Amino acid sequence: MKNITKEFPSVKALSNVSLTVRRGTVHALMGENGAGKSTLMKCLFGIYSVDSGSIYLDGEQVSFKNPREALESGVAMVHQELNQALKRNVADNIWLGRYPTSFGVTREKLMYEKTMEIFKELDIEVDPHTVMSKMSVSQRQMVEIAKAVSYDSKVIVLDEPTSSLNDREVEHLFRIIEKLKSRGCGIIYISHKMEEILRISDDITVMRDGQHIATERAADMTMDKIIKLMVGRELTNRFPEKTNRVGDISLRVEGLTARYANVKDVSFEVRRGEIVGIAGLGGAGRTEVLETLFGILTRESGKIYLHGREARNRNAREAIKNGFALLTEERRATGIFGILDITENTVISGLSRYRLAGLFLNGSKMRRDTDWSIRSMRIKTPSRATKIRTLSGGNQQKVILGRWLLNEPEILLLDEPTRGIDVGAKYEIYQLIIDLASKGRSVIMVSSEMPELLGICDRILVMSGGRLAGEVEVKKGDDGEELQERIMSLAAQYV
């Protein structure tokens, strides 16, 4: 890709950006949220047309008008935000738009066999007949990677592929990447996880504010050097200093069991000002615990007490009234309202605060609160009137977090709060979480990143097979490796 430039109304997303990917290598593309990484890849994949610049594939100039052309030419992209036909099965999703047919009739058996061939090659254990909506995000991500491989691609773009994967699934993905490299496939790997980048990359390109900053061999890079190139400054600590003080019990959960989900007899307590993490392997029930507490999943039995009084939380509306807030794992599907602007997305969970005479909404107060959110969360956006779907994934996440902070919740439930967010913005979000806890609020957060849990949590609950396997207290100066081993041992208890 040579001198790619792309402008949108009121913002220049890319300015003369160049990128060269060598055959059979992993080329990491790094930068803060809004740096232009995903925009550059969408230009390659035919989602956006470039304003100027040129793209070459195997030495020949190409210009894809749409993703289908890109796929048929050997360029595939696994997006950070999965966009799948959730009511169709796995095989349908992989072969959508190119079903094998005979006399106009879809050959279901052949489609199944082809899917199983790919899954066997990639060591993916998923039944092709399974409906997509019944699978976890991590399983769906693997299906999307298998779909990209099915096109016999020369170049595959992986945009935050490990954001929803646990350690075991990440290792599986890395084995798949090694197989693709051995075939001569070029991998463009977008991630904010430094350890991953330094481990699997051959080359690293850093972008900032829509411009190319540097391209280096991965062997010549360090974590500190990458961070400095990304944010334009030194970042000495990955986690802020913890200033929160743990007080009396604020939340008590007794025998929590979900009717249609993997949550069985879970009991725990959370104290005022405490940050509690939830760890576990994929399918352990981490997300389901949060969704049952928030009333999204049907509770079969168990009780929830907030400050000694029972909180029924039969649905999300009731949970919000009771002082609960939930930041969901999949922001595109269950977090943002894509067709609405930033102001509407920011105030939507607390519209009662803006009522005038019961009939109208106080526009100036809504704008004032939105401006506060944009400033405090450092959201990169042309204006508060910008449609949220046009923002980068990390900036969308900041808008949702700002939305809940305006509600001043008693219990903040966070499901992968820094998923797809750059290292500088992560620090800011950690600081916001700690600040909220310092004000006496209680935070429960699910994360697949062990260093994140150990870095900001006071205590970590470990889920295994839908049950609470145990808990680990985190104290300053503890041996991180020893704690991780204890957590992984508990996570495997009921598998």
Q: How confident is the model at residue 454 (pLDDT cuts 50, 70, 90)?
A: very high
What is the rounded CA–CA span in Å between residue 57 and residue 45?
12
Give the pLDDT confidence of 5-36 residue by residue, as tens digits. 998 876 788 999 999 999 999 999 998 777 88
| Contact (Cβ atoms closer than 8 angstroms) between residue 387 and residue 5 | no
- Tell me how far CA of residue 145 lies from CA of 149, 187, 205, 369, 456, in angstroms: 6, 12, 22, 40, 32
Determine the pLDDT at residue 192: 79
Give the pLDDT confidence of 163-185 residue by residue, as tens digits. 777 778 889 899 999 999 998 99
Give the pLDDT confidence of 315-356 residue by residue, as tens digits. 999 999 999 999 998 787 788 999 999 999 999 988 888 998
Vertex 67 angle, CA 63 and 70, to 5°? 50
Of 205, 250, 172, the C-alpha closest to 26 is 205
Residue 261 has which token pair?
Answer: 């989900």
The most distant pair of C-alpha atoms in the chain lies apart, rounded to whole Å, by 71
| Contact (Cβ atoms closer than 8 angstroms) between residue 155 and residue 186 | yes
Question: Is the pLDDT confidence value at 416 over 80?
Answer: yes
HSE-CB at 231 with a 13 A cutoff on CA atoms is 18
Residue 332 has which token pair?
Answer: 């595109």
Q: How confident is the model at residue 467 (pLDDT cuts 50, 70, 90)?
A: very high
What is the rounded CA–CA span in Å between residue 130 and residue 147?
15
What is the rounded CA–CA span in Å between residue 129 and residue 19?
39
Q: How confident is the model at residue 359 (pLDDT cuts 50, 70, 90)?
A: confident
What is the rounded CA–CA span in Å between residue 277 and residue 445?
5
How large a percentage of the chain has pLDDT more than 70? 98
Inter-axis angle of helices 393-406 and 423-438, nearest 10 = 10
Question: Is the pLDDT confidence value at 85 over 70?
Answer: yes
Mean pLDDT (the chain, rounded): 90
* Lowest mean pLDDT segment, chosen from 52-61, 302-311, 329-338: 329-338
- Cβ neighbours for 263, distance < 8 A, ≥ 6 positions apart: 256, 257, 285, 288, 289, 292, 297, 466
What is the rounded CA–CA span in Å between residue 296 and residue 39?
34
Secondary structure of residue 181 in the 3-state scheme:
helix
Determine the pLDDT at residue 104: 83
Determine the pLDDT at residue 230: 83
Residue 51 has which token pair?
Answer: 């304003």
What is the rounded CA–CA span in Å between residue 148 and residue 164?
18
At 132, phi and psi to the nearest 5? -55, -40
Determine the pLDDT at residue 235: 59
Give the pLDDT confidence of 125-165 residue by residue, as tens digits. 889 999 998 888 888 888 988 998 888 899 999 988 887 77
Determine the pLDDT at residue 163: 73
What is the rounded CA–CA span in Å between residue 418 and residue 430?
9
Determine the pLDDT at residue 88: 92
Vertex 36 angle, CA 378 and 180, to 5°? 125
Q: Which domains does the chain have, with CATH numbers?
A: 2-231 (3.40.50.300), 249-491 (3.40.50.300)
